[in-house]
Amino acid sequence: MAKSSADDEELRRACEAAIEGTKQEVVMSIRVAKTSGIIGIAGKLSRGAMAKPRVLAISTKAKGQRTKAFLRVLKYSNGGVLEPAKLYKLKHLSKVELVTNDPSGCTFMLGFDNLRSQSVTPPQWTMRNVDDRNRLLLCILNICKDVLGRLPKVVGIDVVEMALWAKENTPAITKQQANPQDGPVTAVAEEGEMTVTVERELVSQAEEEDMEALLGTYVMGIGEAEAFSERLKRELQALEAANVHAILENEPLIDEVLHGLESATNCVEDMDEWLGIFNVKLRHMREDIESIETRNNKLEMQSVNNKALIEELDGLLERLRIPSEYAACLTGGSFEEARMPQNIEACEWLTNALHGLESPKLDPSYSNMRAVKEKRAEVDKLKMTFVRRASEFLRNYFSSLVDFMMSDKSYFSQRGQLKRPDHADLRYKCRTYARLLQHLKSLDKNCLGPLRKAYCTSLNLLLRREAREFANELRSSTKASKNPIVWFEGLTGLNQSVNNADTSAASEAYAKMLTIFIPLLVDESSFFAHFMCFEVPTLLPPEGVANGNKPGDDKDDDLGMMDIDENDNKSGQTSADLKALNESLHDLFDGIQEDFFAVVDWAGKIDPMCCISMHGITERYIPGQKADAAGFVRILLDDLESRISMQFSRFVEETCHQIERNERNVRQLGVLSFIPRFATLATRMEQYIQGQSRDLVDQAYTKFVTIMFVTLDKIAQTDLKYQDIMLLENYASFQNSLYDLANVVPTLAKFYHQASESYEQACTRHINTIIYYQFERLFQFARRIEDLMYTITPEEIPFQIGLSKADLRKVVKYSLSGVDKSISTMYKRLQKNLASEELLPSLWDKCKKEFLEKYESFVQLINKVYPTESIPSISEMRGLLASM
């Protein structure tokens, strides 16, 4: 027999490679031909139906305790490699049908019950021979029996014949026993024999032996099947008749059994009747028990509810109870310092009681109860009574504290003695009632407005008197010149000097005023914001006496001030509280600014230079006042800075008017008086600069110098003959007097360079005037030649009218004969009108240099136009000038 493709190991490996990754094990693989047409006569395919080579592979996959079986259809790709085409689950295999049109018996169809369209004819599979067909179908049937526990319907195939074929084609096999749940067991034949996979026989060994014994009793040929069948029918009829006869012989026994069954039936009916009676009684008893249990449960629930209600009412009564000691304290208790702990305790109880009668602490269902409403009204009445009494007491207390301090003169500055304001005792006494104010705020916020107003009104009187007495004594005890300094008015000579008396004491007095009162006002602002429960960030009090502590009272300060926010620590500031705080601070300090203004005006009258130092002192305080509680202090410092700037601006304007009045004076010569005076003024101003007052001084410098230069130009234009002399002398004096300051003050350096440029221009104009006065014909002749050189060539110029060689000789003879005398005349004219003798050497050097440059250009021009003419050379003229 030819070797079957089912034994082809290479084919099996190709199938395993095609389904790699599916975790399925190939049990059997075999080559088949797939057709979809109808088989015709002699087993030939009908027209239009072509056989396609395919491979059928049976595979299994273990999944837990179960094993799944699949029938895979593989086809050949273009490269001859197997690839999956179809997949069928064997659990859906319902029919195996042999195609009768194929006389060879090698074609069959497999029917599956899960195909979507049962109307489509399933594909037909054609094997090479019957052996291959039997191998495949036996493998499928064995797997269905062992793994799935059932067999598909087999049509057109003799199962007995297939079993006999399997027995004949199975050699001695070594079977591997295993549990059917572990998957199909494969029987492997000895090497060299044909391998046929038979997992289990369709007929067991015992059934086969019984069948052989039965067939052995009948000595018949294989063609006598009809006779064998007739004989079996006759024997079956005889056996049934014998059974009926035996039953009829046992009739008495059957009657006895029936009688017993009837007696038993009667007993059962009686028992059923009794059971029905008992069931009715039990049902009635069950209903009674359920009724009793229902009533019992209701009573028990009512008892629990009553108990809970009593407890809730007891708690509500306890919450509504007003202790007599608290009621007495709130309605008629004393506010003395010794009684404050009891008052605070009563306030805490009152606050908790009010909160306890409000949602969410009080259940909304209680809010409409009459007892709750009455108790809430009683508590509200207690609150209003206590708030009214406490507010009245605090207003009177603030007023009495201030009146006591106002009546004692030792609290204020006196003649010959400056007294630093000390509010430590005042704040210490106020802190006693800090927590009371906190509770008043929580009880009624509206009561704080009148209290803040009363505190501000009372303390404002004290602060204003302290500032007034301190400022008066500060002015009277400061030694300073009483005559105001006039810097530019009425000064026409250079030998007059201003009063250089030291007036720094006035600015020091202002600094002392700020040093004492600004920290005091900041402390008062911060204390007021804390004490009166404003919800804004405030300054921490400075250390020492300035923050109002008594020596050794640091602990009391902590207990007083720091505890104010203990129960109501709100970090966010509200615009409403900030606005209210600023209004209250204005009421607290209103009027005190007048005493600061008086000191500023007094110091400005003594010496306007004090405004510079006062401006710097004020600016040093401004950046430190950033807290919200220091709002009034910031406004006060800004107002002081504005007043100082305004006063200094008034001084600058008056000084500018004094400078302008110089142009209306009689004709002036030499250096004007305001030039050296400005140098003295600038030196004095630099001595007073502190902090950020540089901008103020630079602005003043700009105004002064601008008006000085404008006035100088106007005065110089009154006499054009001496204009340049006056300008160069004054600009030179300006530079000499401000040389040192210009090196350190950028603003003055800018004006220094401006004066230097103006000086050079005035020098150039004056020197050119002197040179042209003495050598006018010589340089006019050169100018005519230069003008003609723009239109004609140098060779044509000697032929022009007035520019001939003879004309040149006349001009040279007239101008350069006795040139030493002419140069001496130039020197005398330069010296004649110059008031500042120290400027003469430099001016004469400039004059010689300028004349030599002009003469050098003249010689070059003559050599170019009149090359044959001879004139004094440049070296001769330079030597002559050097000897002068």
Asked if 155 and 98 touch (Cβ cutoff 8 Å), the reply is yes
| Percent with pLDDT over 70 in the chain | 79
Apex CA 741: angle with CA 736 and CA 746, to 5°?
120
Average pLDDT over residues 687-701: 78
Q: What is the DSSP letter of 172?
A: S
Mean pLDDT (the chain, rounded): 78
pLDDT tens digits, residue range 792-813?
888 888 888 888 888 888 888 8
Put simply, whether the predicted model's pTM sits higher than 0.75 gets the answer: no
Element (DSSP H or E) covering residue 739: helix 739-742
3-class SS letters over 257-315 = HHHHHHHHHHHHHHHHHHHHHHHHHHHHHHHHHHHHHHHHHHHHHHHHHHHHHHHHHHH
* DSSP conformation class of 39: B
DSSP letter for 818, please.
Answer: T
Q: Token digits for 674?
A: 């305001």
**d(C-alpha 187, C-alpha 198), whole Å:** 7
pLDDT at 667: 59
Lowest-pLDDT range, 39-48, 255-264, 431-440, 579-588? 39-48
CA–CA dist 778, 810 (Å, integer): 10
- 10 Å CB burial of residue 185 (0-12, 13-18, 19+) is middle
Assign 183 a pLDDT band (cuts: 50, 70, 90): very low
Residue 551 has phi, psi (to 5 degrees) of -55, 125
Residues across the chain: 884
Query: What are the tens digits of pLDDT across the range 700-738?
Result: 889 888 988 888 888 888 877 778 888 888 888 888 888
Q: Which of 642, 673, 679 is nearest to 659 (CA)?
A: 673
Q: Is the pLDDT of residue 433 over 90?
A: no
**pLDDT score for 779:** 82
Note the pLDDT tens digit of each residue in 209-238: 766 666 665 555 445 677 778 878 888 888
State whether residue 873 is helix, strand or coil: coil
- Give the list of residues 6+ apart from residue 689 with CB closer than 8 angstroms, or none: 612, 613, 616, 697
Angle at 325 between CA 321 and CA 330, to 5 degrees: 90
Q: What is the mean pLDDT of residues 828-841?
A: 79
Per-residue pLDDT at 297: 92
Contact (Cβ atoms closer than 8 angstroms) between residue 165 and residue 146 = no
Q: Rounded to 5 degrees, what angle do the CA atoms 677, 681, 682 make?
A: 120
What does the pLDDT read at residue 58?
Answer: 93
